[in-house]
Amino acid sequence: MKAIAQPAVEFVGTFFLVVVIGLVAANDAIGTLAPAAIGLTLAALIYAGGHISAAHYNPAVTAAFWMCGWFKKPMGAAAYWAAQLAATLAAVAVILLLRERPDALLLQEGPLFVAETLFTFLLVFVIGNVALAEKTADNHYYGLAIGATVAGAAWAVGDISGAALNPAVALAFAMLAMISWTDLPIYLAAQLLGAAVAVAVFRCTTSMR
């Protein structure tokens, strides 16, 4: 049952996270409250699914957990990635059904790469310290900490990169024509680099459970 439940929760969480991001991006009326809407939604989804799948909802976070040795089965991470990909495809279909396509982001490749690397690092570093660290085991603030990180990143660099911090979100951006497909590899490289460096720093500074 656990083998099915974990990818299922990853599908649900990734789906609703991407749906909210896409709908918020296409809703001009929400304005500067968009990061708060995204961060609070993510926090709620983490509290809902954290006890089942650890609530990654992000292929870069799954990669970080894999690098930390969290998965006990060789194909555990692959099942998460498959669920997250399927959820992204379904979410984009729902976004296009409910709203017009969001406006394209105005990007510069250098700042985009730096922003996505730095803030994916921050996100994974926070997740490691509130969800994997021995000294913070069984805390009750992990969802708010992670949601606040995403909200803060969105306020800080939303106008630079869209603050995707998540390969699933970056893929959705490309499918929604918010970014060029040629920009997608930049997002993925930056996010994976940020996650890998965060794992290295986390493992050097913190004892895992």
> 60, 197 in Cβ contact below 8 A?
no
- In 3D space, the residue among 117, 129, 200 whose CA is nearest the CA of residue 163 turns out to be 117
Is the pLDDT score of 126 beyond 70? yes
pLDDT, mean of residues 130-155 = 95
Residue 75 confidence (pLDDT):
84
**Predicted TM-score of the model (pTM):** 0.96
Is the pLDDT score of 78 beyond 90? yes
Secondary structure (H, E, C), the chain: CHHHHHHHHHHHHHHHHHHHHHHHHCCHHHHHHHHHHHHHHHHHHHHHHHHHHCCCCCHHHHHHHHHCCCCCCCCHHHHHHHHHHHHHHHHHHHHHHHCCCCCCCCCCHHHHHHHHHHHHHHHHHHHHHHHHEHHHCCCCCHHHHHHHHHHHHHHHHHHHHCCCCCHHHHHHHHHCCCCCHHHHHHHHHHHHHHHHHHHHHHHHHCCEC
Per-residue pLDDT tens for 153-181?
999 999 999 999 999 999 999 999 999 99
Residue 94 confidence (pLDDT):
98
Is the pLDDT score of 208 beyond 90? no
Is the pLDDT score of 2 beyond 90? no
Residue 1 confidence (pLDDT):
62
